[in-house]
């Protein structure tokens, strides 16, 4: 049997290793000049005025909620199809989560599901956190307009979406450019399109917001120009959410090849769609909206397991036995015991339908088209498709 194909894998080359080695030989291992270089390069790449590096994607979300002043009783809207961190970061600050439903074929919050969540909130909403699932961008102009109309702020969770873009009318929106949000957060976990090992980033259109985020990521400490060199002040507590120079060196090297990695992911995703299309109606790829040009982090297919006379567990086990990894993204967060206890049982049919059908297949630059042939043929066999 061929080598096992995981659902995601980091892409590390000799130049990445050399960049980290050089950082290890430098004067700073953490809180050094490479951090600022990575921040500036990332901001320039996505088209944002400023960017702030931090220790991981969850820390980025938490810092964003702190920056907005989310506190006890403040309501924030989060789509139910996301990783736990998007909702948990609201709770870290004492805020309350109202879960929005998603489109069952894309996994995304939509203008209608946002409107429905706003009605259920029962009070003014302080923040809305759209999640660019898989790398597919939400309808940001519409979501932003709806949110701002009732006095809230938008923070985009783009953990999956570095390198993605979408055209609205004549405007091309890039993930992280913050044209329709106050902040956008990213993750550089190893299975993402680019990695820093662990790491995160917040982009923003406000230099004042960026300055405050840098204070919050480093214990809330402020050093004033001209003061004694050992002096610092803390007006309010922050966290140790800094990203070391070593990680930023890897990030800079990875960022330099982002465009090339995005091209490769788009090629592989297009080939997946070509190979999966004949397997309809039992299996189909997650929907891509008109005008969207995602750099997919996840290759998610939707499967009618009942019609195929099987279960997702049987398919996952069959793929594993054939040396093919898969994953489920995600279990609806509103069904987690903590949130059920806090908010009761919610009826979010889109999120439930997405969860019942979704399965993420291998997608990473080292994958070959012959690997995709093997994956799709194996999957078709497990579903009884000749």
Q: What is the rounded distance in angstroms from the CA atom of residue 157 to the CA atom of residue 108?
A: 12
Read off the CATH number of the domain in which 149 is found. Answer: 3.40.640.10
Residues of the chain with pLDDT under 50: 1
Q: Would strands 125-128 and 153-157 be described as parallel, antiparallel, or unpaired?
A: parallel
- The residues that are catalytic are 192
80 and 171 both lie in a single domain: yes
Closest to 301 in 3D by CA, of 139, 188, 134, 176: 134
The domain boundary residue, chosen from 205, 240, 255: 255
Whether residue 57 is contained in a domain is answered as yes
The pLDDT score that the predictor gives to residue 1 is: 42
Give residue 240's domain range: 14-255
Asked if 173 and 134 sit in the same domain, the reply is yes
Shared domain for 330 and 219, answered yes or no, is no
Residue 270, CA distances (Å) to 59, 67, 153, 263, 276 in order: 33, 39, 35, 11, 10
Checking DSSP bridges between strand 165-168 and strand 292-293, what pairing results, if any? antiparallel
**Model confidence, pTM:** 0.97
Task: Tell whether 205 and 277 lie within a shared domain.
Answer: no
Residue-level pLDDT at 136: 98
| 284, 241: one domain | no
**Domain final position from 255, 271, 301:** 255
Find where tokens 């302080």 sit. Answer: 126
Q: What is the pLDDT of residues 279-321, one digit of tens each?
A: 999 999 999 999 999 999 999 999 999 999 999 999 999 999 9
Residue 359 backbone phi and psi in degrees, to 5: -155, 130
Look up tokens 């189909």; give the residue: 284
> Are residues 214 and 200 part of one domain?
yes
H/E segment holding residue 249: helix 245-255
List, as own/partner pairs, every contact residues 141-147 make where C-beta atoms lie below 8 angstroms and the sequence separation is at least 24, other chains included.
141/168, 141/171, 141/173, 141/180, 142/111, 143/109, 143/111, 143/114, 143/180, 144/180, 144/181, 146/111, 146/114, 146/115, 146/118, 147/114
CATH code (residue 265): 3.90.1150.10
Does the residue 1 lie in any domain? Answer: no
Residues 247 and 296 in one domain: no
- Among 93, 164, 92, smallest CA distance to 131 is for 164
Strand partners of residue 156:
184
From 255, 277, 309, give the residue that closes a domain. 255
Within a domain: residue 186? Answer: yes
């Amino acid at each position: 049997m061929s080598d096992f194909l995981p659902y995601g894998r980091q892409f590390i080359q000799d130049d990445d290793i050399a960049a980290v080695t050089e950082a290890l030989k430098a004067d700073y291992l953490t809180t050094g000049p490479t951090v600022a270089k990575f921040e500036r390069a990332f901001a320039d790449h996505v088209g944002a005025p400023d960017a702030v590096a931090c220790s991981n994607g969850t820390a980025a979300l938490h810092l964003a909620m702190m920056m907005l002043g989310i506190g006890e009783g403040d309501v924030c809207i989060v789509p139910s199809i996301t990783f736990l961190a998007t909702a948990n970061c609201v709770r870290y600050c004492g805020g309350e989560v109202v879960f929005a439903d998603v489109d069952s074929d894309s996994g995304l919050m939509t203008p209608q599901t946002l409107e429905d969540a706003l009605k259920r909130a029962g009070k003014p909403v302080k923040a809305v956190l759209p999640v660019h699932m898989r790398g597919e961008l939400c309808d940001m102009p519409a979501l932003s307009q709806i949110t701002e109309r009732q006095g809230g702020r938008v923070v985009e969770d783009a953990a999956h979406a570095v390198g993605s873009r979408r055209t609205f009318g004549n405007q091309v929106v890039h993930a992280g450019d913050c044209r329709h949000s106050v902040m956008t957060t990213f993750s550089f976990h190893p299975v993402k399109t680019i990695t820093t090992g662990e790491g995160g980033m917040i982009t923003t259109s406000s230099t004042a917001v960026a300055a405050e985020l840098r204070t919050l990521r480093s214990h809330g400490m402020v050093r004033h120009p001209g003061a004694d060199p050992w002096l610092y002040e803390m007006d309010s507590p922050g966290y140790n959410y800094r990203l070391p120079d070593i990680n930023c060196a890897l990030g800079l090297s990875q960022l330099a090849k982002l465009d090339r990695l995005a091209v490769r992911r788009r090629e592989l995703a297009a080939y997946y769609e070509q190979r999966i299309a004949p397997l309809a109606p039992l299996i189909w790829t997650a929907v891509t909206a008109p005008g969207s040009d995602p750099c997919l982090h996840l290759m998610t297919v939707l499967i009618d397991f009942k019609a195929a006379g099987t279960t997702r567990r049987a398919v996952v086990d069959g793929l594993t036995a054939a040396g093919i990894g898969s994953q489920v993204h995600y279990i609806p967060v509103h069904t987690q015991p903590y949130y059920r206890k806090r908010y009761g049982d919610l009826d979010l049919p889109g999120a439930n339908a997405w969860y019942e059908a979704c399965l993420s297949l291998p997608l990473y630059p080292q994958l070959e088209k012959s690997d995709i042939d093997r994956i799709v043929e194996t999957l078709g066999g497990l579903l009884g498709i000749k």
